[in-house]
Amino acid sequence: MNLFSLMKSLFPIAFLALLSGCSPAESVPSADLTQPADTQPTISWQSTSNNDERSDMLAARPQLIVLWSGSGYDKQFSTPRGHQFAIKDVTNVLRTGDGEKSASCWSCKGPAAPAMMAEFGENGFGGKTFGEVGHRMDVSVGCDDCHSPDRKALKLARPFAQKAMAKVQQDFDTMSPAWQGAQTCGQCHVTYYFQPEQDNRVNIPWIFGNDADAIEKYYDTRRFYDWIHPLSGAPMVKARHPEYEHWSRSEHAKMDVTCVSCHMPTQVDDEGREYHSHNTGKVMDNFDSTCASCHASKKSLQAKLSKRKQQIDDARTEVEKLLVKAHAEAGALWRGGVNQTSLSPALMDIRHAQWRWDFAVSSHGVHAHNPSEGLALLATAKRQAQQARATLAVMLSQNPEIEVSYPDISNKLAAQQAMGLDEAALQQQKQRFLDEQVKGKWPGWE
């Protein structure tokens, strides 16, 4: 039996329900402000509520609606904003629907989540629903996610993150203080999936390593898929923000320049005491204090960053357009009666190409974190997508009666209509959920 049909027989389509991944209220700090040392970290942490800009990626790149169709990410996808918004945004996002998804969607939103994992067990937590435990989510990305209660030590609050670091021989307890700092971020800024056979608990799939090839090997050998693509029938896997993975192989990582060096620079308060800014959002504002020791000028570094961003954007656009075509062509053959076994090699190329593309682009800031890895992933993805299309072209020429119609991706609405996605209905469902279950009941929701 080939891999694809094996997958179909092993895993029912019910997987669809698992995917809709995740991302409050201005949280109440659990900080003890009678501790002077906590004052500046807390003020700067609260100030992430000023980082309130985000942009609608589905409007900017309507082709994402096709590529992610059926995964949940096709419903809504924006760039990230400040840590104070984590709880509010995952509650509002159309992906979490009416609260029936797994509570695992809360895993990376605040310290109440690991506290519940300790209380109910990881499977017990994953087996609950998002709506069921939302009232427990009080603080958004809080002190207890990264610190011991006295703030004197760093910690990883999440058991799945502790296990993941051990899988790649980076056990938290054995790492330098610099890397421990990066790992506090890497609890959440990593790729993951919900483990269906373990009540949807979060698993970080690093058993063979944490680059795109090693994780793909894990998913392929387990014949895992997050969802079946409705257009092509390909068994897809979704990458989610692998910032830690990309950074850990970068030039900066080799020099111990970590997430904390760039995103939490050292500052000095009125009394001359040093502290780390806990506003992670404003990297380029910190040029003089963090980058200048190695990079000559802000202007030229900014120019380099923009150039890398443009290169990544151009490469990804190319891959996205190829993949949309490949899904449509495979789908036409499927609907035209060609059996799935003969489509299987092309579907696996689509799966592998889209996985690599997603591993590059769902990592926010790959142009800054590891542009060479990002470009290499996109180059391989392009080759694999072309390979899929070459195979499909041969099959189409053998079946001249089959016509391919390509989805309209000229704007968001057109792409939604092409994929049968009714945004208004999803918004109504969300509004009902907020009115009936959230407002006035969960902390911080009037």
The interface with ligand HEC within residues 275-304 (CB under 6 A) comprises: 275-276, 278, 280-281, 283-284, 286, 290-291, 293-295, 301, 304
Both tokens of residue 426?
């999803």
CB nearer ligand HEC, residue 266 or residue 341: 266
Q: Does the protein bind ligand HEC through residue 85 (CB under 6 A)?
A: yes
CB nearer ligand HEC, residue 122 or residue 145: 145
Locus of tokens 């609950």: 128
CB 30 within 8 A of CB 143: yes
Q: Does the protein bind ligand HEC through residue 397 (CB under 6 A)?
A: no
Task: Name which position in 7, 164, 185, 239 contacts ligand HEC (CB under 6 A).
Answer: 185
CB of 238 to ligand HEC, least distance (A): 16
Helix (H, G, I), strand (E, B) or coil at 404: coil
- Which residues touch 147 (CB under 8 Å, ≥6 apart)? 153, 154, 155
Q: What is the largest CA-CA distance in the chain?
A: 79
Which x/- pattern, by CB under 6 A, does the window 23-62 give for ligand HEC? x-----x-x-----xx--xx--x--x--x-----------
Q: Does the protein bind ligand HEC through residue 136 (CB under 6 A)?
A: no
Q: Which stretch binds ligand HEC (CB under 6 A): 165-173, 239-247, 315-323, 338-346?
A: 239-247
Task: Name which position in 135, 136, 151, 383 contacts ligand HEC (CB under 6 A).
Answer: 151
CB of 10 to ligand HEC, least distance (A): 32
Which x/- pattern, by CB under 6 A, does the window 199-238 give for ligand HEC? ----------------------------------------
CB of 152 to ligand HEC, least distance (A): 8
CA angle 175, 212, 164 (to 5 degrees): 35
Question: Torsion over CA of 407, 411, 415 and 416, rounded to 10 degrees?
Answer: -160
CA distance 79 to 422: 22
Q: Does the protein bind ligand HEC through residue 83 (CB under 6 A)?
A: yes
CA distance 273 to 324: 54
What is the C-alpha R_g of the chain?
A: 22
CB nearer ligand HEC, residue 178 or residue 402: 178
CB of 326 to ligand HEC, least distance (A): 28
Task: Name which position in 108, 315, 392, 395 contacts ligand HEC (CB under 6 A).
Answer: 108
Q: Which of 106, 80, 125 is nearest to 22 (CA)?
A: 106
Q: DSSP string covering 141-158, please?
A: S-HHHHB-TTSSSB----
Residues 51-84, buried b or exposed e (16+ Cβ, 10 A)?
Answer: beeeeeebeebbbbbbbbbbbbbbbbbbebbbbb
CB of 147 to ligand HEC, least distance (A): 5
Task: Name which position in 25, 62, 75, 81 contacts ligand HEC (CB under 6 A).
Answer: 81
Q: Does the protein bind ligand HEC through residue 364 (CB under 6 A)?
A: yes
Q: How many CA atoms lie within 13 A of 56 on its CB side?
A: 13
- Residue 235, strand partner residues: 228
Q: Does the protein bind ligand HEC through residue 114 (CB under 6 A)?
A: no
Q: Does the protein bind ligand HEC through residue 355 (CB under 6 A)?
A: no
CB of 345 to ligand HEC, least distance (A): 36
Question: Torsion over CA of 19, 135, 154 and 31, rounded to 10 degrees?
Answer: 150
CB nearer ligand HEC, residue 28 or residue 404: 28
CB nearer ligand HEC, residue 70 or residue 134: 134
Task: Name which position in 201, 252, 316, 389 contacts ligand HEC (CB under 6 A).
Answer: 252
CB of 292 to ligand HEC, least distance (A): 8
Binding footprint of ligand HEC, residue count (CB under 6 A) = 73
The stretches of 243-370 forming alpha helices (DSSP H) are 243-248, 251-254, 259-263, 298-335, 340-361, 366-369
CB 63 within 8 A of CB 415: yes
CB 351 within 8 A of CB 235: yes
